[in-house]
Structure 1
């Protein structure tokens, strides 16, 4: 007998015995950056309707549930608490969220679940990024053309060294913006891939925050951030393709391998609710970029340059906002 489940759009806070069938879109460890303390195991679920919800496993239950859950897999989840969404650093737009309980059960689905999409983002354009500056209610998903990659540095932040890698992105509006990856996020980008391949590269970064210094806006990673480079997204559910192809690169140009450069087994807001919409959004960005950049994109030679700008940290209460960017590999 087939099990019945409720769409995410229909669950509410009035009971705890819901049954849902969802894919784990992303999963990550929520970390307090002030003391590096583990807070919770967090996930984003998505169902067949394309609805998404933030799900949380408390610190004291993480050891039990972590081995039972894998990013990308589909599960039937039963008996969880639903509560109104509160506080800052929300990874996506939903008025409710899920908390795992001791009695929560989850069973991996062995059925063909291609009907549940594998990717879903809430991309912000440049105006929305500006409006979210120092507003940490919602985290920002961003897509852009990667134009510069910095070395891994270890600046002093709140009296202790912290790993940092700065990237430069070209957005669809023709604006460049810095993305600072902090902590273990620095290893989600391999600078050798960028230096040794002709590109182009389309980068997606999830769950970032927006800050400004000297009148310039910048993005910083959080513990929820996941980076995708030239992500393969199914279009209309038929075939996978690498987003780099939409640049219409010459046929003799070296193929760029798809990179999902993340060890983090881990959206404000222009909603992108399907793989097809994601593909359209990226295609639109590339077409705009090609018209805007002009001469700057004609040369693929990599040169090392020093950029006299500053970097912002993930922790909003830090006073150390004056960290220089080191050498960048820029196209």
Structure 2
């Protein structure tokens, strides 16, 4: 669970602490409000009155009305479903609640059927049709036949759904992704992602938007031939969605002086365009076009709380795989094991380039080579690194993956940044090495 707001009062904090301890006691089996005289291991747990619903004769109606009070509104915001859910311990109950909610939604219902044939590859392939008739296959339910969804699924436009398989990891379409149905065709279902960093339909490409409230969680200035070429940043909203913003050379000084990494802003009057950047940091299909008439206004911290830094750390063992399915740059974290001094090397037999190499080690002792090139290698402050306490934990962000002799290597780009000994959760385990 996570808090839905920040800046709680002392009374609210006390109530949350009491609730958290109560949940913990239930999980540990120490919460016992009434014991059974003939079974010491069993006990009754009393639910606080403020957590109970008056169910009456229809418990499903009671909980649906409490969680989705505006479910019948035809103009409901798709993000409405992102903020609430009903969790049950049994799949049979899930089916009942799903069907109940579906019947409450407006619009025409469409029914889809699953494939109902057996793959004839086993030793009994010739007898498959006899052993598994269509009627039997169609009766298999997710509830009693693990891993097999129901033969039928009924949907309406506006229905929240969830993916049960990995379709496209780089686009956020993976097992557990929550979406909302936008179109229903004969053999195609169109849906909009409503969670995570891929809420792409909230801000589309080639559109004008009056405002966006977000935190600038990463800021960098790209250089070309040693000269600043563009101002870049990543804005993260309070639901976790991230989008990259860019100002070209002409407007670079203005935004470089206005947007400070870590601060909160309201961006007013901006356009977006398709994200075709070579150095993509945020996996969003649009980029905010920062121009001279775009207003940037500093604001107080937004709620829910947005973390100070934006990273998409990836485990060393998955780096090569990730690079083949995603065009976004890579972020890694590790303990500094070795550092090579700045040197100049001949590249392609034509030009001398600055080069600096690092060797990182993750929590399991696996090593990864990081290479800074050009301006990045020259600008790296080696003196500041030597003044840090040991162990030195470095987060390298915005790097491109290459492969050498079957092993991954990360190379710097114009979007590359590095951070030392951050006060973030991912660094805690390294500090005890």
- TM bucket by the smaller chain? 0.5 to 0.7
Q: Which residue of 2 aligns with 1:117?
A: 307
Going by fraction, where is helix more abundant, 1 or 2? 2
1:28 aligned to which of 198, 203, 220: 220
Q: In the superposition, relative to structure 1, how do residues 43 and 73 fare at CA in structure 2: closer, same or farther (>3 Å)?
A: same
Deviation at 1:64, TM superposition (A): 3.1
Deviation at 1:78, TM superposition (A): 0.6
- The alignment yields a C-alpha RMSD, in angstroms, of 2.9
Larger radius of gyration: 2
CA shift digits 1:66-114 (9 cap, x unpaired): 22222222111111112232243211211222111332111112x2457
Counterparts of 1:21-100 in structure 2 under 5 Å? 21-32=213-224, 35-36=225-226, 38-100=228-290
Counterparts of 1:182-201 in structure 2 under 5 Å? 182-186=373-377, 187-190=379-382, 193-194=385-386, 199-201=390-392
- Gapped runs of 5+ residues in structure 1? 1-6, 236-241, 250-331
Q: In the superposition, relative to structure 1, how do residues 244 and 149 fare at CA in structure 2: closer, same or farther (>3 Å)?
A: farther
Deviation at 1:25, TM superposition (A): 1.2
- Gapped runs of 5+ residues in structure 2? 1-78, 80-196
CA shift digits 1:205-250 (9 cap, x unpaired): 00001112333321111121111121112x6xxxxxx93675436x
- Aligned equivalents of 2:306, 2:341: Cα separation in 1: 38
Q: Which residue of 2 aligns with 1:107?
A: 297
Instruction: Verify the 8 A CA contact 2:357 2:369 in the aligned structure 1.
Output: yes
CA shift digits 1:171-197 (9 cap, x unpaired): 345421110122343343536744x76
**Residues 1:205 and 2:396 are matched in the alignment:** yes
CA shift digits 1:33-77 (9 cap, x unpaired): xx4454321111112222211001122222333222222221111
- Aligned equivalents of 2:347, 2:324: Cα separation in 1: 19
- Aligned equivalents of 1:15, 1:213: Cα separation in 2: 42
2:370 aligned to which of 153, 172, 179: 179
Aligned length: 232
SS at match of 1:49: coil
TM-score between the two structures when normalised by the length of structure 1: 0.61
Instruction: Verify the 8 A CA contact 2:393 2:430 in the aligned structure 1.
Output: no
- Aligned equivalents of 1:122, 1:98: Cα separation in 2: 20
SS at match of 1:63: helix
Deviation at 1:16, TM superposition (A): 1.1
Deviation at 1:19, TM superposition (A): 0.4
Which of structures 1 and 2 has the larger relative contact order (alpha carbons within 8 angstroms, sep 6+)? 1
Q: Which residue of 2 aligns with 1:248?
A: 432
Counterparts of 1:277-288 in structure 2 under 5 Å? none
**Residues 1:138 and 2:322 are matched in the alignment:** no
Deviation at 1:141, TM superposition (A): 0.4
Q: In the superposition, relative to structure 1, how do residues 248 and 181 fare at CA in structure 2: closer, same or farther (>3 Å)?
A: same
- Aligned equivalents of 2:355, 2:318: Cα separation in 1: 25
